[in-house]
Structure 1
């Protein structure tokens, strides 16, 4: 079977997906209305005991509040029965949410208003006493300048002591007045905290119960629940929605009905979710946060194709453009990691360490599929200097890219700036997403661009990144909120076969900076494959 994480759909898979789109159910109003907003569909080709090949179809999650639609495999576990354990306990948690909201928005809010009103009154009384004391001091100081007798000085001292005591009594009275309301506020906060802790425990218990009922099969006839799978994989609780993606549902159905999985693919249908880059009809890999642990278990016993990313020759050496005693500049080929990853795949750093027989430290990184100029230091101090230079935008970089689309037929100018904050897509690493309002940990990302030419429906462009966010250029190109034209060959943000290419057409073509008073400038021409 092909890997659900690295694949190109075969003609048979594409044909099965096309046939699925013709089913009557696809035009059923509740079904159609929801999927047009965006939904992932999966196709699995299977073979039965007689050697007959057929296709199975699945959708992620639910459609119109149901798991069950004719022509699609059922869920691994259906928890939507209104009188069932999950829905009953879900309603209990919802009721608790309403209680918490009622207390916070009424009782607690009312106590805070009462406190603020009383606090303003006591603060005003203290301020009056403080001003009275200050005014009296001004008068005393003036009288002392004119000269006072010993008896008068004693009276002035007594007046000062009295007014200070009055201010102290005023503050004490304020604390005494505020104490009861503060006590009630603390009691209310403690009650809210107790209810929230109860809600947390109820939610955790319900999720644990839910995931214990997702019994995932594999090709060897074994089964494990989701709790166990995730604990053994990375020691965490399964993310919400685990077990409800297309690939697990399809494999589970195949195993239950003694069908041999042959090929699998997932296709996006409908609009792209806000902030993400999804194209209608394009195929996508299974997600990592939920499906990587699950499918790792479920595919045991299957002969799964090896990831193509591991086929890079181990001794592919980056071209050294320049070197001195402090740093070097290399030309990284597409497909080579910049720094060592989780596997033993070669990287620029590992290869240069072997070449030089010493440590090297990257000043920045290029994506695996991006080629071009990469700056590395020979010591940590120099690396730190380069990091500060990048932060201060003292290092200028230029990238050359080819975009799948004609910018001249869009409303975008031929030269401009893209400003789209980016954040990690926590549900589908390593993808990033646009985070316009920076509510998901997003950071500002700025890119200047200039169109070089438009040829054969493709836009040749220069990018000048002002920030260095992960996948910045790829998302600024592909996102509908950016240029809306993905980089040709980008298998992460554009999985369409309209312009097939053996690599991503993005190349770091120039880098310039000053170091110890000496200007440096390096250029590199891309080695893009001919169309």
Structure 2
């Protein structure tokens, strides 16, 4: 067996009164087992008391270069039938992949296995390490060159000059075209006057005809002259623009070539690195990250794959022949700027990076049932509050999908088809999150659906929600939140705040009352982004208080306390303004 080097940690307190889990944790949605909660508490005490290493989690006043971290605990049984746990972290801690009593990174675990098996790979490992270091240095040098080129004052000056020349060219050309229009109008008048004089003068027709021909020739020359001047003006400006563009292209091409070279070398290095990640499953079979991700839509492993807490913990356990019993991951420290992470909250493994890996590693392990496959709304009633020939208003209960999902078909759409068989067309005009309750507009005909959808697209529909937040809001009684949102690629369906790629999202809010240490308020979305209200409430740059029961951005409870309370819109046929109100149950 591989030496544990103190990675196996016995519980400090007695666990005699605890029952062991029957099945291993379903990693992507779970309630932590009481023994995992106890292990997490002991790990958190260690994080507060240890002095061996230092990492600024942002829990104190010093926020400079602070960063929170995801930690994990894995409940295991060792070869001596002792129950204990392993601890790990995602990514790096204080700049290192392997720290103290935490399980090492996957490549280091594999290296120790080889050393234990007395396989003489020292030379090849040294060569790989040297080659890796050389490539990393080369990539770092390319990055430094790129930074220098991108910050080159000449690049900025040329871009500014090019913009200036294009604007000046357009201005000059527009002025000349305006002058040409004036000249053209004057020539038209002169031509018409000459023709009128010629038509009225019958005494010297031959002489006037010759004069008229000469005038027309002169006017034609003036027209050609104007056009030639325009052509020359454009050529003059284009020459200046081309010269500046050529100088700019030289710099930009150099930047592009360096980026391509860096990308190419990074890809090669990444592939070499991923070859060091040989993941193992219960049966002792190994597979590289590249092979694991081949069947997935992205086909290649995302950066950082294999460095999350869960795979590192399970890899170490399997390599030491530990029996894995349960796991949990929690966030420790300050939340990232884009994501929403609450200090000490438990979180599932990420889907983008970890799901393919853990599915491979846990093959053959009996796991808890996936709660996301259970229809918790099957006994809840979909109440129809209003119905006519073309539309309906329903009160959706929480936990009921708006449209059929991948695994659960029960939804507002399927129930409407059962309750109102005469309904035709797409039916669903807009959606509510599965966890959100409240008013939904339903179209019963294709024509009504088209008219209603236009109103939602034009944002002429007025909606108001009521929410109960964790904590007491002590700022102004009303306000507005504008945080752009986009999907979290590695943690669907979670959303993140992103100034670069996020879509605009605006919410206004108004305080209703404080209930104990909670805050009840109205939320009015001006846009309709996924999870907009949930993120705007929970994010530090929003209200910094998650909605009670938000299992994605806060803490799970009996339900998500978010309800679509009122809605106003135009009737799709009569165009009459209609409003509906349905109070929340909380």
Secondary structure, counterpart of 1:275 in structure 2 = coil
Query: Aligned equivalents of 1:315 and 1:381: distance in 2?
Result: 31
The 1:181–1:259 alpha-carbon spacing in structure 2 relative to 1, beyond 3 Å, is: same
Matched, 1:39 2:102: no
Q: Which residue of 1 aligns with 2:502?
A: 441
264-273 or 346-355: which moved more?
346-355
Match of 2:89 among 59, 71, 86: 59
Report the structure number with the largest CA radius of gyration.
Answer: 2
Q: Which residue of 2 aligns with 1:511?
A: 567
Q: Scaled by the length of structure 2, what TM-score is found?
A: 0.76
Matched, 1:491 2:557: no
The 1:278–1:163 alpha-carbon spacing in structure 2 relative to 1, beyond 3 Å, is: closer
Count of residue correspondences: 518
Secondary structure, counterpart of 1:91 in structure 2 = helix
Q: Is the 8 A contact 2:398 2:436 kept in 1?
A: yes
Map Cα deviations across residues 124-163 of structure 1 (whole Å, 9 max, x no partner). Answer: 9999999999999999999998999959857887687678
Query: Aligned equivalents of 1:101 and 1:490: distance in 2?
Result: 42
Query: Aligned equivalents of 1:118 and 1:456: distance in 2?
Result: 64
Q: Scaled by the length of structure 1, what TM-score is found?
A: 0.83
274-283 or 198-207: which moved more?
198-207
Secondary structure, counterpart of 2:273 in structure 1 = helix
Map Cα deviations across residues 158-187 of structure 1 (whole Å, 9 max, x no partner). Answer: 687678657756766776787677666556
Query: Aligned equivalents of 1:319 and 1:511: distance in 2?
Result: 16
41-50 or 380-389: which moved more?
380-389
1:230: Cα distance to partner?
1.8
1:447: Cα distance to partner?
2.6
Q: Which residue of 1 aligns with 2:415?
A: 351
1:228: Cα distance to partner?
1.9
Matched, 1:88 2:151: no
Q: Is the 8 A contact 2:377 2:400 kept in 1?
A: no
Match of 1:21 among 44, 52, 63: 44
Matched, 1:323 2:404: no
Please give the residue correspondences for 1:114-153 in structure 2 after superposition, counting only pairs within 5 Å.
150=211
1:75: Cα distance to partner?
0.5
1:269: Cα distance to partner?
0.7
514-523 or 129-138: which moved more?
129-138
Secondary structure, counterpart of 1:322 in structure 2 = strand
Please give the residue correspondences for 1:104-503 in structure 2 after superposition, counting only pairs within 5 Å.
105=152, 150=211, 186=249, 189-312=252-375, 315-316=378-379, 317-357=381-421, 359=424, 360-407=426-473, 410-413=474-477, 415-435=478-498, 438-451=499-512, 453-495=513-555, 501-503=557-559
Query: Aligned equivalents of 2:56 and 2:524: distance in 1?
Result: 41
Query: Aligned equivalents of 2:180 and 2:576: distance in 1?
Result: 66
Q: Is the 8 A contact 1:34 1:63 kept in 2?
A: no
40-49 or 18-27: which moved more?
18-27
Secondary structure, counterpart of 1:522 in structure 2 = strand
Map Cα deviations across residues 393-443 of structure 1 (whole Å, 9 max, x no partner). Answer: 432323222222122xx2232x333333333222322111233xx312231
Q: Which residue of 1 aligns with 2:34?
A: 11
Map Cα deviations across residues 109-128 of structure 1 (whole Å, 9 max, x no partner). Answer: 67768878999999999999
Please give the residue correspondences for 1:71-82 in structure 2 after superposition, counting only pairs within 5 Å.
71-77=101-107
Secondary structure, counterpart of 2:270 in structure 1 = helix
Q: Is the 8 A contact 1:478 1:494 kept in 2?
A: yes
The 1:237–1:383 alpha-carbon spacing in structure 2 relative to 1, beyond 3 Å, is: farther
Query: Aligned equivalents of 1:521 and 1:164: distance in 2?
Result: 63
The 1:200–1:347 alpha-carbon spacing in structure 2 relative to 1, beyond 3 Å, is: same
Secondary structure, counterpart of 2:55 in structure 1 = helix
1:22: Cα distance to partner?
3.0
Q: Is the 8 A contact 1:35 1:63 kept in 2?
A: no
Unaligned runs of 5+ in 1: none
Match of 2:143 among 97, 114, 137: 97
Q: Is the 8 A contact 2:74 2:86 kept in 1?
A: yes
Q: Is the 8 A contact 2:484 2:502 kept in 1?
A: no
1:491: Cα distance to partner?
0.8
225-234 or 259-268: which moved more?
225-234
The 1:142–1:11 alpha-carbon spacing in structure 2 relative to 1, beyond 3 Å, is: closer
Q: Which residue of 1 aligns with 2:116?
A: none
Query: Aligned equivalents of 1:511 and 1:115: distance in 2?
Result: 51
